[in-house]
Amino acid sequence: MDSVQERTQSTSALPTREHPEPGVYGIFDVEIARGEYWFEDGEYVIRSTEFDVIAAGPTFAEALSNFGDNVIAFAVYLAELADPAENEVEMLGLLAPRLVRLMRSAKRAESRARRRRLLGVTVTLSRRRGDDASRWHRSGPHNSSLPSLA
């Protein structure tokens, strides 16, 4: 997967809502949600095709960060439902194992960081710091226009 870094690109070359670009959102090496992204009204929009989750931001990195927050919020929402419907149980069944894998990856990353004695540079799940672990992996045929991946 690619790392999240900003790259200047003409917005005219970006996917539109009518023709979004498919991809996979992940944190560390864990696939969290399949989705698609496009550029609309001055914002990058990322929408899950598996869950009822959408996010946007003025940069792709911010949209990705917001998307990650919203996916986790959606999982919490599903988990806290007192009387979930069939589809909500199914979606939680799809999402929960991925989040468990994510927690394991985060734990491994923290262990590695500790071993390397990177004091003061903690690897965390926080996506608002410079050591962002979020990833967007292009999955469609139109993979030349991703705006913010290096």
Binding site for another protein (CB under 8 A): 17, 34, 40-41, 43, 45, 47-56, 66, 70, 74, 77, 81, 83-88, 90-91
Q: Which lies closer to another protein via its Cβ, residue 45 or residue 99?
A: 45
| Contact present, 121 and 44 (Cβ < 8 Å) | no
Q: How many CA atoms lie within 13 A of 148 on its CB side?
A: 22
Closest CB 146 distance from another protein, rounded Å:
18
Q: Which lies closer to another protein via its Cβ, residue 88 or residue 110?
A: 88
Q: Which lies closer to another protein via its Cβ, residue 38 or residue 109?
A: 38
Distance CA 134, CA 150 (A): 13
Closest CB 100 distance from another protein, rounded Å:
20
Structure letter (DSSP) for residue 38: E
Closest CB 148 distance from another protein, rounded Å:
17
